[in-house]
Structure formats: structure tokens, C-alpha cells
Structure 1
Amino acid sequence: MPRRLTQTTKETHQTLKNMSYESMVISWLMYDGWQVFTPVLDNGHQTDILISDGPNYFRIQIKTIDACGENQTLKNRWHHSNVDYVICFARNSSWGYIMPAFSEPSRPMNAHGHLRFEANSRNDFLKAFHVVDDAQ
């Protein structure tokens, strides 16, 4: 069994963990039949992934937080971009929320129109993803 013998800095390790959530969402959406694109650089556009069903494209921002409860406030870090949806994972728990991007400076994670999903369940995520616009 291979073992990693080099030391990873705390910042790099956190980036690797955050990227693993993006990879998981990419996999789930591809499984669901979406075309998935990843920007070479998302600096300034706040788009972690771009998805398409053919004629339509949607920009998605993926966030991770250390949550102390589902009513925790999520800061809007995409306010000057064209993001359509935000998917947020609680790193220290087993849940997440998907929501249409909002324009206010912040909002509680469990606000009206935000849909909770179990972070370890592709089916639970896709169920929420399919109805996120209907929850408004």
C-alpha cells in the first residue's frame, strides 16, 4: 500500500479537502447526465464549475464551511459575478445546502429556498438539485 511520506502544509491540505468537494459534485452531476466544465482559473468570476444540458449553461460556486449549526450565516463572496447556484458543504458535519445565488451580503444556510442534502449521498444531492428552483 502506498504511503505519502512528504509533509503537506496546513493551507495546502485545506485546499485539497476543498477541491475534493468540487470533485464530488462534478462526479454527481456527470452521473446525472450534465456536461461539466471546470475553469482553468476562476479568480474574479467565482465559478468553480460550469454545467450544461446542451442549450443552457449554469455557473456554480462551491463553498465549504466549518459549521456550528444549520442556521449559520453564509457570506456572499460572489456578489459581483454571474453565479447561478451555490453549493455549500459543512466540513465538520455530514450535510450541505444548495441554493440559488443571492445578492444580500449574507444569509442563513437554512433560509427559505435553500435545500438541505446529506453530503455523503449522491441521490440526496441530486434530489435537492432537481427542485432547487421550485423551492423559491
Structure 2
Amino acid sequence: MKESMVNLSWENQLACWLQRSGWEVFWPLSDVGQKTDFLISDGKNFYRIQVKALAANSFKTTTPNKWGRQKPKCDYVIVILKGCGQGICFKATDATSLTVNLNTVKGHKFKQTHSEFIKAFNKT
């Protein structure tokens, strides 16, 4: 239970940072196998976001691909590394293997601050 609350806190934090930067944020009523934690919109387009919070303390770690390999069920994946105050965001289509190596995936790393996250997300 405690672990799920920490992960939910990261979903909320990232959604707040995106909203502060001008994105509209939408929450699904339930996430039963859809692999979408929340959606964002720029007014024209919608993007599905999946958030993963890991206890790792470096990017030399892997995470299982639970968002789908052939046709991902989300557009962007944001991974928070709780042990080192950093994270990485990448397009779900750039990580289609069963296990994703965070040190080699094509993405943008960030420190866990609003400005650093938004810079990385906007590059993605």
C-alpha cells in the first residue's frame, strides 16, 4: 500500500508540473490494463502518459515494458529514480523490448525539479 501511494504521489507531481507549463491534464476513472496513468492535451492533441517510479539510484537499471511492445498503450513513459533524484522520459515507441535499459533507451534525463523535467519532456 505504501509503495502505491509513493508512486501515486509521483503521478500527481508530474501532472502538476505539466499543468503549470500549460498542458491540460485528465485522469482516467480507472486504469484496468490500459497502461495510462493520465492524459495531457495541448488543446488539439491528447497524449497518454505512463509513470514508473523505481527504487534505483542510477540509470544502470532496467524496467519491464508493461506498456506494450507492438502497439504501446501509451505515448510517453516517464521513469522516476527515487534513489538518486533523477528521471528520464521517452516515447513509448522508442522502447519496445521486453525489458528497457534506462542507460541506453533513447530519452531525455532530468533532475527532479519542475524546470528540469519540463525541459526534458519538451525535448521528447
Structure 2 length as normaliser, TM-score? Answer: 0.90
- The answer to whether the aligner puts 1:130 opposite 2:111 as a matched pair is no
Deviation, 1:45, is: 0.5
* Equivalent residue runs for 1:33-48 within 5 Å: 33-48=22-37
Q: Does the Cα contact within 8 Å between 1:44 and 1:81 map onto a contact in 2?
A: no
Contact 2:88 2:110 in 1 (8 A): yes
Secondary structure in 2 aligned to 1:33? coil
CA RMSD of aligned residues (A): 1.3
Distance 2:105 2:48 in 1: 21
How many residues are aligned here?
120
Unaligned runs of 5+ in 1: 1-11
Change (3 A) 1:123 1:68: closer
Matched-pair contact (CA < 8 Å) for 2:37–2:49: yes
Residue 89 (structure 1) aligned with residue 66 (structure 2): no
Identity of aligned residues (%): 33
Are positions 1:16 and 2:36 aligned together?
no
Misfit runs of 4+, over 6 Å: none
User: Alpha-carbon deviations, 1:79-99, whole Å to 9, x = none?
Assistant: 164211000001222001101
Between Structure 1 and Structure 2, whose CA radius of gyration is higher? 1
Question: Contact 1:116/1:128 (CA < 8 Å) preserved in 2?
Answer: yes
Residue by residue, what CA displacement relative to the aligned partner does 1:10-67 show, whole Å, maximum 9, x if unpaired?
xx21111111100100100000101100111111100001000111010000001111
Farther off after superposition, 43-52 or 101-110 = 101-110
Q: Quick check: 1:53 aligned with 2:45?
A: no
